[in-house]
Chain A
Amino acid sequence: MIYLQLFLSFLQIGAFSFGGGYAAMPLIQHQVVELHGWLSMNQFTDLVTISQMTPGPIAINAATFVGTQIAGVPGALAATAGCVLPSCIIAAILANLYIRYRNLKVMQGILGSLRPAVVSMIAAAGLSILISAFWVSGAFSLAASNIRIRSVIYFATALLLLRKTKLNPIWVMLLCGVAEVLFTLVAT
């Protein structure tokens, strides 16, 4: 049965992708392209592009996309449910342990060491987004001609707005997008 197959495939993707979006990509490709042939490699590449353009985690986007293509909205529901189920169980168990034992000395020590590491990882994620925004090639380079000055200006303005006004971060993000759209329309 296709619904069960979709559910089980995405259950595996959900259960074994530790560490966020890019870690899930090869797993999704394996299940969806190589094992079941639900998508061609071209379609998979499209899926990755679409996932980057739309909000939400790539694994959820993939589940919905594949599910809809193969078995309509019920298929999408089965795949998404499979994808989210392991997270629900494991994250809830860890949250429960956290709430129960957070005051233990050892837990305090562990959490105290994890917090600075988490800050670094968030910083690293932000940095990679900025690099792909600032450099035309999408990678860090010293050649000044490669830098999109506009993006740097959006960033500086956005940061200023975020720090100095109470403007909602979502509006700040959207403003940057609209600015680039206007620029593209005027330039072409």
Chain B
Amino acid sequence: MTLPHRYIPMTEQDKAEMLATIGAATTDDLFRDIPDAIRYRGVLPMSPALDEISLLTHMKELTSRNTDTANCTSFLGAGIYDHHIPVIINHLISRSEFYTAYTPYQPEISQGELQAIFEFQSYICELTGMAVANASMYDGMTALSEAGALAAGATKRRKLVVSRTVHPEARETLRTMAHGLGLDIVEVGYSASGVTDLAALRAAVSSDTAAVLVQSPNFFGCLEDLAAIEPIIHGVKGLFVVSANPISLGLLEAPGKLGADIVVGDAQPLGIPQSFGGPTCGFFAVAEPLMRRMPGRIVGQTKDLDGKRGFVLTLQAREQHIRREKATSNICSNQALLALCASIYLSTLGKQGLIDVANLNLSKAHYANSQLAGQEGITLPFTAPFFNEFVIRLPEEGPSVSEINEQLLKCGMLGGYDLGLAYPELAGHMLVAVTEKRTREEIDHFASRLGELQ
């Protein structure tokens, strides 16, 4: 490429004038400090440049080979959900003052972002029933890992007990983190009803346990009995970490009210596109005594010189740019733009809307559950209460879950998650998610097709 390019304003005349000002003969002079031995000569063998029309055509061609939820009906969840995204969200997050800004280091010209984050923190505290929330994390699963790290640091203990009903990829991420920090991970199995086996949990927890980590609704969609788990870990003075689905909190008791010390989760259901699994937005909330151990950014309210309310990044003494190797976490970026999505979503739904959407999810999922259970060959292995996701068992002698999903795709449906992938003992089991977007007709169609495919 030679100048000009539509993103670069420098003209040949500018270049000549600037080089003359510096006293350099050529641009190459500005790279004279790079040893010759490591100067790249020639053109890198990368994808070539495309003009705007060709690039748009190319990108549309790539998307044409993806099946999206505009042209299929999704019953796939397992951590990423097909919820309705109120149309105003995209309009507001597309305001470039939000999306082209940096982290709000200069508060006087970043009050918009700072206030938006402060409101996000407020929303998360309301939903989770916790005292303090941060400005967001990479996603819910890495937030769970950070919760484990926080618990280990706060208790000076090295053992983390995690339920096997926690998302498999969250447990994998937790294991990677634990290896770095030298922590031990103990996994506890599930009962016949589809929730954490409390007897096994009691046996696994001891005075060297930093935390118990559970997810509710859990990976099977089942609701964990948080009130029953809480005394097990608090009895040994460890911390109780709960990962929660934020939509479910319109209906379910806030984990903070049930004794959780740290509540994390993924805000993807709150107006964030599925986007192949990322970016989403993790949330992280703690009880007050853990406030100064929180990872990530935190916004606080304060006053300016005139006494006017304003917002700033605060408690920065925890953070990497101040404390370096002694920081509570290495986290620097959060997911501010997606935290904004979640805030706009919660502003839009409001007090009644969150209850309504939670009830729609509950009703549609329970209807689907009953319709599927009525199909020949399909059974329901777990009995625990559930929210908007549940497990079905398909006949052993029939086609595999992945074969069934390929068939469903041909009828314009994305079937559920193949549980055999992460739980070998659950081969032939499918995890079905039903959101407010699914109509009765779609559910009936799904149930009957699934019945026929056995």
A, B in one complex: no
Interface residues of A (CB under 8 A from B): none
User: Which residues of B line the A interface, CB within 8 A?
Assistant: none
